[in-house]
Amino acid sequence: MLDRGAALRLTGQQEHNGNTGDGVSKQEAAEGVEIEIGGLSKIFGQGAAAFHALSDINLEIRTGEFFTLLGPSGCGKTTLLRVIAGFEQPSAGSLKINGKEVAGLGPNARPVNTVFQNYALFPHMTVAQNIGFGLKMLGRPRAEVEATTAEMLKLVKMEAMAGRKPSEISGGQQQRVALARALAPRPRVLLLDEPLSALDLKLRKEMQSELKRLQAETGITFIFVTHDQEEALTMSDRIAVMSAGRILQLGSPHEIYHAPSERFVADFIGDTNFMDLPVSAVEDGRARVTLPGGQEAEARLPEGMLPVLGETVTLVIRPEQARLVEPAGADLVAEVESAVFFGTDTHIHLRLHDGQGFVLRRQNTAETPDPAPGSVVGLQLSPGALRVLRS
């Protein structure tokens, strides 16, 4: 999708310009902390009506990473983004960008640019004028503004639309212009506030890979806000899952998916089965639990957690981490309640012998029939499928 040459020229010129310190060179991108947030809170309103939008956020975002703030609406992710951008000032705590305290500074004094949810392109300006706006406001010479605008137009493949007004281009094109406009001043950090939510599915997939590539090629730190867990998993280097103004878990997509720290995270990301089972043994950071049928299985324990023998713990198991087998000798035996065909896979709703529900996701082939409701099946768990949740 992207013109690699243009992108490389962009990075090249960044190092060449290097005057404002806005640009990020590739060497820098590997190490270093870009944004450091300490004890940050944001309270809207006062007294009894006070609303804690953010409570004691501590976060380090590394230079050059694709960082995602993920959570349901109202969890504070957009507020956090707006605090980083400078649209909101924190009620308490510190916020450093590239080692410099920026709390109290306005958005025009921070080396950060935002791609807004509905793009917020200036309707009275052309595509080219929109893209050049930031540099013009920085007082750069006209020749540089024009050169960078041309470069950016090429980067997002919008050269042909340079003279159009935002109302004369499609949603996907507006999205590209918004990206180009935010990238043109070469910020240290690019903030993206659910930028893909207004696009249809196909365009969204396209823009996801384009965003990822832009990030890799410019080396700019991206902070991406979304409520779409799939988007977060596919694009991010690291994800912070937020709820009610707090960060619940911070980790790589793999960690977040396979080792959720608490019930909310497990529930919010992907489909999950929860099972309450008694612990029969604990060894080497692993627990053995007794399954409903009497079989024993190994479960991963969160770091530092030591359950008491006999204690009932909550475990999570992803729907694709078990497969259907003959009931004899299986880990679990269950009765089929219903089967829902999704094309690539089928979701089989099961009832375990102790009454707990279980959803199994089975990859489909052309010749495997869906199990009939009422039939009894066996389940075999994948190794490491069970994980104990911190209570």
Binding site for other proteins (CB under 8 A): 85-87, 106-108, 112-114, 116, 118, 120-126, 133-134, 137-138, 163, 165, 181-182, 185
Between 12 and 163, name the residue whose CB sits nearer to other proteins: 163
Could you tell me the end-to-end alpha-carbon distance of the chain, in angstroms, rounded to an integer? 46
Structure tokens at 356: 């707990």
Shortest approach of other proteins to residue 138 CB, angstroms?
5
Shortest approach of other proteins to residue 126 CB, angstroms?
7
Report how far residue 76's alpha carbon sits from residue 41's, in angstroms, rounded to the nearest whole number.
10
Report how far residue 36's alpha carbon sits from residue 97's, in angstroms, rounded to the nearest whole number.
7
Shortest approach of other proteins to residue 221 CB, angstroms?
16
Between 136 and 258, name the residue whose CB sits nearer to other proteins: 136
Between 79 and 113, name the residue whose CB sits nearer to other proteins: 113
Between 184 and 315, name the residue whose CB sits nearer to other proteins: 184
Contact 91, 42 (CB under 8 A): yes
Shortest approach of other proteins to residue 215 CB, angstroms?
19
Report how far residue 300's alpha carbon sits from residue 259's, in angstroms, rounded to the nearest whole number.
9
Kindly report the CA angle at 253 between 24 and 186, in degrees rounded to 5?
15
Residue 29 φ/ψ region, left for φ over 0, alpha for ψ in the -120 to 50 degree band, beta for the rest: alpha
Shortest approach of other proteins to residue 315 CB, angstroms?
45
Between 181 and 361, name the residue whose CB sits nearer to other proteins: 181
Report how far residue 131's alpha carbon sits from residue 157's, in angstroms, rounded to the nearest whole number.
13
Shortest approach of other proteins to residue 19 CB, angstroms?
15
Instruction: Please give the C-alpha separations between residue 287 and each of 24, 33, 260, 281, in angstroms, as whole numbers.
Output: 46, 37, 16, 6
Q: Which residues pair with 165 in a beta bridge?
A: none
Between 136 and 288, name the residue whose CB sits nearer to other proteins: 136
